[in-house]
Each structure stands twice: as structure tokens, then as C-alpha cells.
């Protein structure tokens, strides 16, 4: 009896709704050009708050992307998720007819950091302003972390394994890893990723307690990790969804394998314990490399977490040096999120999308607003750098102490 072939998790579709682009093409164009779209927050009811700068998604009209009956029962974070899922599925050439034949072979995994704050605020204002009878029933589901997974699966008729990862910002990478595991276990397709909408009054007030948050008013100076000017991070909304598909399912459909989800690991080192996050991140990198069967020297680019807090930046630089050895000083490091802001769980998923696009284009996007790096890292600044990229490492840490690493292999590489 022959050995059953190993099932491999491939990325076959990418859908992006980001501050710097509401399609994968515009996102990549802005990302590789190093455009920063950080700007003063314009959202109603937020003007008086001490958080001034963020990455807003301004070029997105929910009604153009999603049916009204799904819009009325969901928060903005789920509007982004449904729209991004559609884009990813379209990119993977999966129409409703394709997935409708075998609905149990398609699942959904999302990660969420805060759920539907804007919807929740509106309904709670009804509760305290008018009374409990004026709270709409969709409040019961719309602000829930799980809302995006549920609504994507209902709207597209997916009946395969569905789940939600609530694991801090790094949960965005964990969701991709969870999808990869589901594919290896037997599901053909998982729509996976994260979108967030933390730029509404209630949600913003919740963030004001984070000492890592940047309250700098100048967009060009508000988020500058790895420099002496590091002053915290800038939040963002939007995110990305990807189609994770079993390699042979993709080949049978004659769809391009854009990348492989080759290895992942996660560790936990405690909330805001940035001194200890380095050790945890290094261990996550080592374990992810191990799962991917990847030597440190094979890593061609690192998409850094880049929190922008001096102690956290130092810990990340040390983690890269620790886990990659001497290669850690040579490998190009980038953090395109300095141009868009940090969308909590969505941030590392956007980084993973950018990593796939970078490998496809042989181009490492730069780190906007960062020029004067004060760590022993080769940070790509100012303009994109051409390079042959076969393997990318994406790093993420959460404010509550989670650390994750994901190894992506270029689709053209046959690592088997």
C-alpha cells in the first residue's frame, strides 16, 4: 500500500480592504511604493479624543459590496470581512456555483481583536437612552467576535469547519495556521483572515488605556518603529481574507498556487512584558522554521511586528538575531504597516498578503516614515528593494502577550 500523499495548505486567493487600497492591486501598488496613508482621524464623535492619527479605510462603500440585509445585521468589521472574502474567493476563481456543489468542503476561520464596537455602541445608546425594548435583536450577534466567521459562512453557504481565533493581535497569524491545519486534516478550502473596525468612539476609548498607543498628532511622526523616534503604534481598520486550499484541489481546478503556508508557531509571554516578548518570539520563529523544514538562511525577508515601542522593538531585533543567528543581521526586514497603521488582528494578515505579493513580484516593500534605524537590522526603507524571494517570515505580537511566527513559501517553489 502506498503512503498517502501529504496534504499541503496553499494560498490561492487574496482579498484586501485596507487603508491604502480596497483591492489587492491598489493595496500592493501603495505598499510597494511606500505610500503612507496615516492621517488625522475624521470619524464622527472621535474628534475630541486624544488619539489623533490612524489608518482609516476611506474608499469603501459597504452598500456597493454587500447586500443590505447582511449590512443591517452586522458591524463595520464584518462589512470589511464579507467584502474581503468575496475578493479572495473571486481571486481564487471560486464562484457561488463552484462552492455550492460541496458546501461541506469549505470552511471559514477569522480572528478578531475587539468585535463590532460601533454597532454595539449604537445599541447600548438605545438601551440607556430609550430602554431595553429599543435594542435591536441583531445586537445579539453583531458585536460578537465570531460575527464575521458566521456571516461569511451564512452568506456564501459554507458548511465546512468554521471557527474564530481570539488570541490577541497575533491571532491573525494563528487563524491562517488554523486554516492550514484544517486543510491538512481534510477540508479542501478555508476562507481565513481578519478584519477590524476599531475607529469608533467607544472602541477608541477602550484603546486609550494602552500605554503602547501613539497619541502623536503628526501623521509622519506618529508611528516610527526601530528608530529613536519610536513613540508607540497607530491603529488601523480594514484587513484581509485569503483562500487557503489543499494543493491538489488547486491543481485540479487549474488555479495558481500563490504561496504555501509552510510553518507556524505561537507562544505567550504576558501582557505588555516586552522585555520577555523577545524570548517568546524567538521560540515561535524557531518552532515555525522547524515545522516548515526551513533553515534560518533560507528566510529571504522578514515582515516585522514593529510595535514602535523602544523596548518592544529591541526585543524583536534580538529575537530575529537569536532565532536566525548571523543571518538575522543580513536578512532584509520590512514593516509596511508603518504606512497603514496597525489593524490589530488584521495587521499580520495584511503582512502575510503583502509577503505573498512581495514573493510574486520579487520586490520587498519599504517601511514608510522610517529612515533612521537604530537597531542592528537591515530594515528596508524609502523605496522597495528588488530581490529573489522564495521564503518569507511574518511576525506578530499582541498587546496581551501572544507572539506568533508564520513561514510562507513562494508558490513557484516545490518544497516537497
Partner 1 sequence: MSDRITLEELAELMKKAAGVTVSPQQLQEQYDAGFDTLGIDSLGLLGIVGELENRYSTPMPPDAERSKTPRQFLDLVNSAFLAGA
Determine, following the binding rule CB under 8 A, whether residue 124 of this chain makes contact with partner 1: no
Please report how close the Cβ of residue 150 comes to partner 1 at its closest, in angstroms. Answer: 12
Determine, following the binding rule CB under 8 A, whether residue 134 of this chain makes contact with partner 1: yes
Q: Extract the C-alpha cell encoding 149.
A: 466567521
Determine, following the binding rule CB under 8 A, whether residue 293 of this chain makes contact with partner 1: no
Determine, following the binding rule CB under 8 A, whether residue 64 of this chain makes contact with partner 1: no
Please report how close the Cβ of residue 196 comes to partner 1 at its closest, in angstroms. Answer: 23
Please report how close the Cβ of residue 75 comes to partner 1 at its closest, in angstroms. Answer: 14
Binding footprint of partner 1, residue count (CB under 8 A):
14
Determine, following the binding rule CB under 8 A, whether residue 138 of this chain makes contact with partner 1: yes
Stretch that binds partner 1, among 75-83, 100-108, 133-141, 156-164 (CB under 8 A): 133-141
Determine, following the binding rule CB under 8 A, whether residue 129 of this chain makes contact with partner 1: no
Residue 58's alpha-carbon distances to 17, 20, 37, 55, 129, in angstroms, are: 10, 9, 10, 9, 30
Stretch that binds partner 1, among 95-103, 131-139, 160-168, 206-214 (CB under 8 A): 131-139
Out of 5, 48, 133, 185, the residue judged to bind partner 1 by CB under 8 A:
133
Determine, following the binding rule CB under 8 A, whether residue 136 of this chain makes contact with partner 1: yes
Determine, following the binding rule CB under 8 A, whether residue 414 of this chain makes contact with partner 1: no
Out of 67, 102, 252, 376, the residue judged to bind partner 1 by CB under 8 A:
67
Please report how close the Cβ of residue 70 comes to partner 1 at its closest, in angstroms. Answer: 7
Q: How far apart are the C-alpha atoms of 206 and 201, rounded to whole Å? A: 9
Please report how close the Cβ of residue 351 comes to partner 1 at its closest, in angstroms. Answer: 34
Out of 69, 101, 209, 211, the residue judged to bind partner 1 by CB under 8 A:
69
Please report how close the Cβ of residue 73 comes to partner 1 at its closest, in angstroms. Answer: 7
Please report how close the Cβ of residue 279 comes to partner 1 at its closest, in angstroms. Answer: 46
Determine, following the binding rule CB under 8 A, whether residue 166 of this chain makes contact with partner 1: no
Out of 124, 141, 166, 205, the residue judged to bind partner 1 by CB under 8 A:
141
Please report how close the Cβ of residue 138 comes to partner 1 at its closest, in angstroms. Answer: 6
Determine, following the binding rule CB under 8 A, whether residue 127 of this chain makes contact with partner 1: no
Closest CB to partner 1 among 157 and 293? 157
Spell out the SS3 assignment of the chain: CCCCCCCCEEEEEEEEEECCECCHHHHHHHHHHCCCCCEECCCCCCCCCCCCEEECCCCCCHHHHCCHHHHCCCCHHHHHHHHHHHHHHHHCCCCHHHHHCCHHHEEEEEECCCCCHHHHHHHHHHHHHCCHHHCCCCHHHHCCCCHHHHHHHHHHCCCCCEEEECCCCCHHHHHHHHHHHHHHHCCCEEEEEEEECCCCHHHHHHHCCCCCECCCCCCCCCCCCCECCCCCECEECEEEEEEEEEHHHHHHCCCCCCEEEEEEEEEECCCCCHHHHHHHHHHHHHHHHHHHCCCHHHCCEEECCCCCCHHHHHHHHHHHHHHHCCHHHHCEEECHHHHCCECCCHHHHHHHHHHHHHHHHCEECCCCCCCCECCCCEECCCCCEECCCCEEEEEEECCCCEEEEEEEEECCCCCC
- Inter-residue contact 226 to 370 (CB < 8 Å): yes
Determine, following the binding rule CB under 8 A, whether residue 137 of this chain makes contact with partner 1: yes
Please report how close the Cβ of residue 94 comes to partner 1 at its closest, in angstroms. Answer: 23
Determine, following the binding rule CB under 8 A, whether residue 125 of this chain makes contact with partner 1: no
Closest CB to partner 1 among 133 and 185? 133
Alpha-carbon dihedral of residues 78, 80, 84, 85, nearest 10 degrees?
10
Stretch that binds partner 1, among 108-116, 137-145, 211-219, 261-269 (CB under 8 A): 137-145
Q: Summarize as ranges the residues that interact with partner 1 (CB under 8 A).
A: 67-73, 133-134, 136-138, 140-141
Amino acid at each position: 500500500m502506498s503512503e498517502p500523499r501529504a496534504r499541503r495548505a496553499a494560498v490561492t486567493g487574496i482579498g484586501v480592504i485596507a487603508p491604502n487600497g480596497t483591492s489587492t492591486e491598489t493595496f500592493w501598488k501603495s505598499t510597494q511604493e511606500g505610500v503612507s496613508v496615516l492621517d488625522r482621524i475624521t470619524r464622527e464623535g472621535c474628534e475630541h479624543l486624544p488619539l489623533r492619527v490612524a489608518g482609516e479605510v476611506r474608499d469603501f462603500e459597504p452598500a456597493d459590496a454587500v447586500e443590505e440585509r447582511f449590512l443591517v445585521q452586522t458591524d463595520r468589521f464584518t462589512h470589511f470581512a464579507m467584502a474581503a472574502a468575496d475578493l479572495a474567493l473571486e481571486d481564487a476563481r471560486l464562484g457561488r456555483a463552484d462552492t455550492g456543489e460541496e458546501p461541506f468542503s469549505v470552511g471559514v476561520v477569522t480572528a478578531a481583536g475587539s468585535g463590532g464596537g460601533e454597532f454595539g455602541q449604537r445599541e447600548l445608546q438605545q438601551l440607556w437612552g430609550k430602554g431595553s425594548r429599543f435594542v435591536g435583536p441583531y445586537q445579539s450577534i453583531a458585536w460578537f467576535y465570531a460575527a464575521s466567521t458566521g456571516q461569511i459562512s451564512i452568506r456564501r453557504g459554507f458548511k465546512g469547519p468554521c471557527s474564530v481565533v481570539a488570541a490577541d493581535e497575533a491571532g491573525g497569524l494563528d487563524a491562517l495556521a488554523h486554516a492550514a491545519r484544517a486543510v491538512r486534516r481534510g477540508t479542501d478550502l478555508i476562507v481565513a483572515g481578519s478584519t477590524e473596525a476599531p475607529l469608533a468612539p467607544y472602541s477608541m476609548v477602550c484603546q486609550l488605556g494602552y500605554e503602547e498607543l501613539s497619541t502623536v498628532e503628526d501623521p509622519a511622526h506618529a508611528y516610527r518603529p526601530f528608530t529613536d523616534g519610536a513613540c508607540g503604534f497607530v491603529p488601523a481598520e480594514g484587513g484581509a481574507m485569503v483562500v487557503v486550499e489543499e494543493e491538489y484541489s488547486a491543481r485540479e481546478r487549474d488555479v495558481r498556487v500563490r504561496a504555501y503556508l509552510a510553518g507556524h508557531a505561537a507562544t505567550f509571554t504576558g501582557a505588555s512584558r516586552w522585555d520577555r516578548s523577545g524570548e517568546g518570539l524567538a521560540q515561535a520563529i524557531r518552532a515555525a522554521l522547524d515545522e516548515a523544514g526551513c533553515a534560518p538562511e533560507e528566510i529571504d525577508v522578514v515582515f516585522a511586528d514593529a510595535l514602535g515601542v523602544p523596548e518592544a522593538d529591541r526585543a524583536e531585533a534580538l529575537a530575529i538575531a537569536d532565532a536566525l543567528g548571523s543571518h538575522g543581521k543580513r536578512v532584509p526586514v520590512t514593516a509596511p504597516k508603518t504606512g497603514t497603521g496597525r489593524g490589530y488582528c488584521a495587521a499580520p494578515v495584511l503582512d502575510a498578503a503583502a509577503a505573498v505579493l512581495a514573493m510574486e513580484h520579487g520586490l520587498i516593500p519599504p517601511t514608510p516614515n522610517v529612515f533612521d534605524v537604530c537597531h542592528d537590522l537591515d530594515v528596508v526603507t524609502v523605496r522597495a528593494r528588488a530581490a529573489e524571494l522564495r521564503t518569507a517570515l511574518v511576525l506578530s505580537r499582541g498587546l496581551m502577550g501572544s507572539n506568533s511566527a508564520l513561514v510562507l513559501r513562494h508558490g513557484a517553489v516545490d518544497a516537497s
